[in-house]
Amino acid sequence: MGPPHCSRAENPAPRRVATALLLWMALTHPAISASSAPDAANQLVNEIRDGQHRGITAFHLSIAGESLAAYAAPALRGKPPDLRSATKSITAILTGIALERGHIPSLKSRVADLLPEYKAAMLADPRKAAMTVEDLLTMKSGLDCDDWTPGSPGHEDTMYEKRDWLAFWAAVPSREAPGARFSYCTGNVIALGAIIARGSGVALDAFAESALFAPLGITGARWDTFNRGKGIDAGGHLRLQPADFAKIGELVLNGGRWQDKQVVSANWISAMTTAHADIPGRKQRYGYLWWIDATSQPSLPSTRLLMAWGNGGNFLIVMPELKAVAAFTGTRFNQPDALQPLFWLRDHLLPAFSATPPAR
């Protein structure tokens, strides 16, 4: 089993309503103080470097593939930041590659058929038997698993206490038919990681290295494990250097292409970043393990906001209409101010785009 995990998923229950409200305000309500200075990004770099934003460890902003500003705390050189649940969005990309290579038959493939060691138990429940790969990607597994609700039978905190997380997840009872509604469950992504590994014939970390990281020039990725190293944590705690985290955003921005290589198809990137699920109590929607939003304030440039989001202030935000990618890493785990990067985006960075059109 890996190291202790920060509990209560991305949104501890006592803060869940406040967190959702803050996020909604951050992207849709009038700014408190907007700056249109072209050097807003470098100003933010200086503030982070000077220690004005403790707990934010890195920031990177690029336009059309050109770095506009970047900073990573010196301590990260020896130990890359823990991306927490932003890992899920990278697993979504790996799922697309696995589908394209035939390692997963289709999005409609039954999970029970792809995890044969748990097939008998899953077929005993008609609802579990109907669960598909797509249901895992959209957090619509139908299982009684909600990481945002303490006491949920499938809660990630309970899963982390077990040696075999996958066996724990497979035993979680159904609550409803799969595909019915969104319920944030890290166990779903653990299952996806296992499906990719079984289909490809190699461990998930090895598959990620050859299929995704090596083509992007990413080295030194570190994954957590469980079950005495037999399983890879596909749902959180991947460690990447901030510049490499930003490369993932560039890949998404460019429709799955990196330099002269199509790493994953443009069709998958489009499907992955298309809304497939409503999220109860939030205006954001959910794609395939990616958060989907858009600016709506008239004074801000119009763009979609495609987000990988992890606890602590870890954000990868792809803004297609601006040809821009913003990446933040942080250690503000389970703290309300972990959302502060979204306010910086609203109050300082996005207004700057109005004064600095994206490069062509």
Q: If you compute the radius of gyration of the chain from its CA atoms, what whole number of angstroms results?
A: 19
Instruction: Specify the pLDDT at position 147.
Output: 98
354: confidence class by pLDDT, cuts 50, 70, 90: low
The Cα–Cα gap between 217 and 258 comes to 10
Stretch 203-226: mean pLDDT? 98
Poorest-pLDDT segment among 8-22, 161-175, 262-276, 318-332: 8-22
For residue 148, give the nearest of 284, 311, 345 by alpha carbon: 311
pLDDT at 336 over 80: yes
pLDDT attached to residue 19: 44
Q: What is the mean pLDDT of residues 212-236?
A: 97
CA-to-CA distance for 123 and 144, rounded, in angstroms? 17
Q: What is the pLDDT of residues 248-271, one digit of tens each?
A: 999 999 999 999 999 999 999 999
Distances (CA, A) of 331 to 66, 84, 257: 27, 10, 31
In sequence order, which residues have a C-beta less than 8 Å from that of residue 245 and are 6 or more positions away?
A: 58, 60, 81, 83, 86, 316, 327, 329
Backbone angles phi, psi at 160, to 5 degrees: -65, -20
* HSE of 273, CA atoms in CB hemisphere, 13 A: 25
* Average pLDDT in the chain: 89
pLDDT band at 294; cut points 50, 70, 90 = very high
pLDDT tier, 357 (very low <50, low <70, confident <90, very high otherwise): very low
**Ordered domains of the chain (ranges, CATH):** 13-352 (3.40.710.10)
pLDDT of res. 192? 98
285 exposed, middle or buried (CB, 10 Å; 0-12, 13-18, 19+)? Answer: middle
Q: What is the mean pLDDT of residues 328-349?
A: 94
Identify the pLDDT of residue 200: 98
Torsion over CA of 292, 298, 303 and 307, rounded to 10 degrees? Answer: -30
By the 8 A CB rule, do 327 and 312 touch? Answer: no
Could you tell me the CA-to-CA distances from 46 to 55, 297, 329 in Å, in that order?
Answer: 15, 27, 16
Contact 76, 242 (CB under 8 A): yes
First to last CA, the chain: 48
Beta-carbon-side half-sphere exposure of residue 278 (alpha carbons within 13 Å)? 5
pLDDT given at position 40? 86
d(CA 261, CA 156): 37
pLDDT at 18: 40
How far is residue 43's CA from residue 96's CA, in Å, rounded to a whole number? Answer: 37
Quick check: 26 pLDDT over 50? Answer: no
The average pLDDT across 141-156 equals 97
pLDDT at res. 121: 87
Q: What percent of the chain has pLDDT over 70?
A: 88
pLDDT of residue 299: 86
The whole-number average pLDDT for the span 328-340 is: 96
- Using an 8 Å Cβ cutoff, are 303 and 294 in contact? yes
Q: Reply yes or no on whether the pLDDT at 355 is more than 60.
A: no
pTM value is 0.90
Q: What average pLDDT score do residues 222-237 get?
A: 97
